[in-house]
Amino acid sequence: MASKKTKKKATRVKKDVYFFGGGKADGSAGMKNLLGGKGANLAEMAGHPNLRIPVPPGFTITTEVCTYFYKNRGKYPAGLKEKVNAALKKVEAIMSKKFGDPEDPLLVSVRSGARQSMPGMMETVLNIGLTQKTIKGLIRQSGSERFAYDAYRRLITMYSDVVMEKAAGIEPAEGKGIRRQLEKLLEKKKEQKGVKLDTELDGKDLKELCDQYKKKIKQVLKKGFPDDAYKQLWGGIGAVFASWNGKRAIAYRRIENIPAEWGTAVNVQTMVFGNLGDNSATGVAFTRDPGNGDNKFYGEYLINAQGEDVVAGIRTPAPINKNSQSEHNENLVMLSQAMPKMYKQLFGIQKRLEKHYRDMQDIEFTIEDGKLFLLQTRTGKRNGPAAVKMAVDMVREGMINKKEAIKRVKPEQLDELLHPIVDPKGEKANRPLGKGLPAGPGGAKGMIVFDADTAVEWAKKGKKVILVREDTNPEDVEGMRAAQAILTARGGMTSHAALVARGWGKCCVVGCGDLDIDYGKRKVKAHGVALKEGDWLTLNGTKGLVYKGSLPMMDATKENVVLNKFLKICDSVRRMKIRTNADTPEDARRARDFGAEGIGLFRMEHMFYGEGAEKPLFKLRKMILSETPEERRAALKELYPYVKKDIKGTLEAMEGLPVTVRLLDPPLHEFVPHQEGQLRDLAKSLKIHMSELKKRVSLLKESNPMMGHRGVRLGVTYPGITEMSVRAILEAAAELVKAKKKVFPEIMIPVVGIDNELRDQEVVVRRILKEVLKKYKLKSLPVLVGTMIEIPRAALTADRISEVAEFFSFGTNDLTQMGFGFSRDDTGTFLPTYLEKKILPNDPFQTIDQDGIGQLIRCGIERGRKVRPKLKVGICGEHGGDPKSIAFCYKVGMDYVSCSPFRVPIARLAAAQAAIRE
């Protein structure tokens, strides 16, 4: 009785193993969290009535088992063995084969599968179930000794590497790993036989090689390769779970923000062979072109090969159809020609899959002796341009609605469409050094590095690098991330480098066969040109071209028809306005092209920094260093025409849209020159002695300039500055109105913390307005007077401030500075540590700190609108271009966000997504 009870308690109620195959499945696509992406989709393909696609039968061990495994120091939940055995029985029944059967053995693969795809970051073992006994059965069944020993060789290689070395925590020295050592034996064998290709070795050679492999393993790892099917199976399962915490997986998770708690599922699936002869093949395909989004079935395949051969980039894969042809593979036979029946079936399946999932699918298939199997389907990774194109096309095709389309593109992905390209003029003038496949769009340039560690190291020092490799593997991810672009000599559009770069939207050229890389000498040669580490390269990732040196880049974003269509779709659901921060007519025009609906911040002081600013800057300096009211008045008078001209140009460029002009903000000493010559000119112009000028300069010095004499405080102490600025704004507007132009200036007073500061300035503004109306014989001007909310006290006393202010614009740069007490210019010394130690989740100067600064914003809006219900509210700090912050701004009821011109399209999308989420 007692023992029964114990047994009952030990058996897990949870269903740890999910079967799929034979037109049935325990799971479905909705169960990604439990079955991982791969397992859930295998279940869907096998079991969904609309699909019933031929997949090799198998089963998935859940991610919960992985979590259990880690919580219980590598132990499995009770009853797992029985569950696995039961599922294996079902597979055996469908396949009419038995696992471990010496007559006709069932072989399986063991693969990982997390919720979110982590390409190549975890482990796989193929051909499990091959032993001294079963191999005889396989030879008989397949009729090929060569095939059987090739499968055995692959199993021994993978198993010793993944299970016996990596999962066992053995970290061999560089080049001393067991896989490498076995590969050396293979090379030696080929040498002895005088052949080049693996395929030129016969059954006898491979058999001998398998024996050598096993001896080597025993010698190096001090353990024998297991000659038992079930031992192999459990070894494989354990190794896949262990690989969740492998170095590569951890690095990838950190980059992609994947929580460690998710765990991976394990898929055990019947092996099907693409290498059973010329009637067999294997390939990878996308239901649409992942490089540009075109609605064209696209893929690569290899006859008589296993799946890993396609991705490994050792043999050049052939195109499946015409769409997939490129300069590199155009003389290879297409699948549609080689196996027309199979191609037709595959084409039908991919159509059904895309329709079912209503999204582009990335599929893996194998043809075993004239029989097609799908091994995997998943939502395909795509770069920004392809994501936008597909979203727009799928709306037109009626596959998805507008809201779905908007959700399909990540705001950051738009960055890729807004990124620079290599200037075509520069390209014309330079002959490419080489040509490869265009795996990641846009242009990039940087210094050559030959390994991932150097890429990371140099990037840390602020250098721009291009990672140049024969090919990449998952160990290189951190270096790939750090590089501006990736260039490989081998591999196709589905190679590791291409997949990873595409996912990140990084510029990438793969398969550039012109390169001859010498890692040892840290050199690369192409068509007789030799380059060394540190030399510059420029890549055109859209065309796959490689140039020597540093070519000029340009903005590729104008007149992008598809992007504009997509942004129009966004605009149809978006409710929050998008303005821009711009200080020149050119910036204003560019932002308008990007869809800006006004200027949210024109920083008046910026007109004294840029190109051609010497003259106005000199006048400004004179004004700053004036001592008497007369001196200052005279200097302001001289300054006035420059200010008016700049503002007028910008108001004109933004005709019909509001323009918020902010009065002078920064501490005055920022403008004071330090060079003797310039000081002397100023002294001369002010008709004072150098020593007097130096005295005045030193008086402007402040201990805490960010909290010193700046913003509204300048206007309060020197009302003449406000008078001049306001007159410039209003007269510019009046002249434009007289010229029948529609302009909407908004005068913004910065750094206000006390309502009385604003009242003081408002009197000045209203007085000047009256004077200007009189001068231009106008009844009114459509002008608003408002303030920035960037001092915590202003947010807290917003009700009093909104008695005067007609609009609020949150200056979240200063609000974050003052709210945290973090100097915005000095966070470099401590913020990285804060982020590392997770004291803060994000840099609060990039993403609004909703818990703290967010409260000040909510409070400011609430109190402001209590007094003035229609108070216009926006944001003009850097956060206005950050997607997460934009969602917050929408939630708290802002009317608009304002960001730099290049962020405007991103903000349009982020605001649309925020509206949909609501």
- Residues belonging to the active site: 496, 876
Q: By CB under 6 A, tell whether 811 contacts ligand PEP.
A: yes
Structure tokens at 328: 């590199």
Structure tokens at 878: 């850097």
What's the alpha-carbon Rg for the chain, to the nearest Å? 34
DSSP secondary structure of 595-658: T--SEEEEEGGGGGTSTT-HHHHHHHHHHHT--SHHHHHHHHHHHHHHHHHHHHHHHHHTTTSE
Side-chain-side CA neighbours of 809 within 13 Å: the count stands at: 33
Cβ atoms of 744 and 780 within 8 Å: the answer is no
In the bound state with ligand PEP, the residue whose beta carbon lies nearer, of 439 and 576, is: 576
3-state SS class at 745: strand
Q: By CB under 6 A, tell whether 812 contacts ligand PEP.
A: yes
Q: By CB under 6 A, tell whether 787 contacts ligand PEP.
A: no
Q: By CB under 6 A, tell whether 364 contacts ligand PEP.
A: no
Q: By CB under 6 A, tell whether 874 contacts ligand PEP.
A: no
How many chain residues bind ligand PEP (CB under 6 A)? 10
Cβ atoms of 87 and 79 within 8 Å: the answer is no
CB of 601 to ligand PEP, least distance (A): 6
In the bound state with ligand PEP, the residue whose beta carbon lies nearer, of 166 and 577, is: 577
Q: Which stretch binds ligand PEP (CB under 6 A): 219-227, 400-408, 812-820, 865-873?
A: 812-820
CB of 729 to ligand PEP, least distance (A): 17
Q: Which stretch binds ligand PEP (CB under 6 A): 141-149, 150-158, 392-400, 811-819?
A: 811-819
Q: Which one of 574, 603, 622, 644 is in contact with ligand PEP (CB under 6 A)?
A: 603
CB of 255 to ligand PEP, least distance (A): 30
CB of 312 to Mg ion, least distance (A): 54
Rule CB under 5 A: which of 760-819 touch Mg ion? 790, 811, 814
Cβ atoms of 775 and 838 within 8 Å: the answer is no
Where helices occur in 437-584 by DSSP H, the ranges are 452-460, 477-482, 496-504, 561-573
Residue 597 binds: one of ligand PEP, Mg ion, none (C-beta under 5 to 8 A by kind)? none
Q: Which stretch binds ligand PEP (CB under 6 A): 177-185, 761-769, 807-815, 883-891?
A: 807-815
In the bound state with ligand PEP, the residue whose beta carbon lies nearer, of 159 and 602, is: 602
d(CA 839, CA 662): 35
Q: Which one of 597, 790, 849, 882 is in contact with ligand PEP (CB under 6 A)?
A: 790
CB of 820 to ligand PEP, least distance (A): 13
Q: By CB under 5 A, tell whether 880 contacts Mg ion.
A: no
In the bound state with Mg ion, the residue whose beta carbon lies nearer, of 496 and 579, is: 579
Element housing 286 (H / E)? strand 281-286
List residues bridging with 249 in a β-sheet: none
Contact code string over 879-918 relative to ligand PEP, x by CB under 6 A:
----------------------------------------
Q: By CB under 5 A, tell whether 411 contacts Mg ion.
A: no
Rule CB under 6 A: which of 263-302 touch ligand PEP? none
User: CB pairs under 8 A, 24+ apart, for 685-691?
Assistant: 685/618, 685/622, 686/622, 686/625, 686/626, 686/631
Residue 703: partners with Cβ closer than 8 Å, 6 or more residues away: none
d(CA 375, CA 58): 11
Structure tokens at 446: 């940087």
Rule CB under 6 A: which of 643-702 touch ligand PEP? 665
Q: By CB under 5 A, tell whether 874 contacts Mg ion.
A: no
Q: Which stretch binds ligand PEP (CB under 6 A): 140-148, 275-283, 445-453, 806-814?
A: 806-814
CB of 852 to ligand PEP, least distance (A): 16
Tell me the pairing of strands 507-510 and 485-488.
Answer: parallel
User: CB pairs under 8 A, 24+ apart, for 733-741?
Assistant: 733/651, 733/781, 733/783, 734/772, 734/773, 734/775, 734/776, 734/778, 734/781, 735/648, 735/776, 736/648, 736/651, 736/652, 736/655, 737/776, 737/778, 737/781, 738/776, 738/778, 741/651, 741/652, 741/655
CB of 581 to ligand PEP, least distance (A): 7
Which position's Cβ is nearest Mg ion?
814
In the bound state with ligand PEP, the residue whose beta carbon lies nearer, of 311 and 853, is: 853
In the bound state with ligand PEP, the residue whose beta carbon lies nearer, of 69 and 671, is: 671
Residue 792: partners with Cβ closer than 8 Å, 6 or more residues away: 753, 815, 818, 819, 856
Where on the chain is the footprint of ligand PEP (CB under 6 A)?
601, 603, 665, 790, 811-814, 876-877
Where on the chain is the footprint of Mg ion (CB under 5 A)?
790, 811, 814
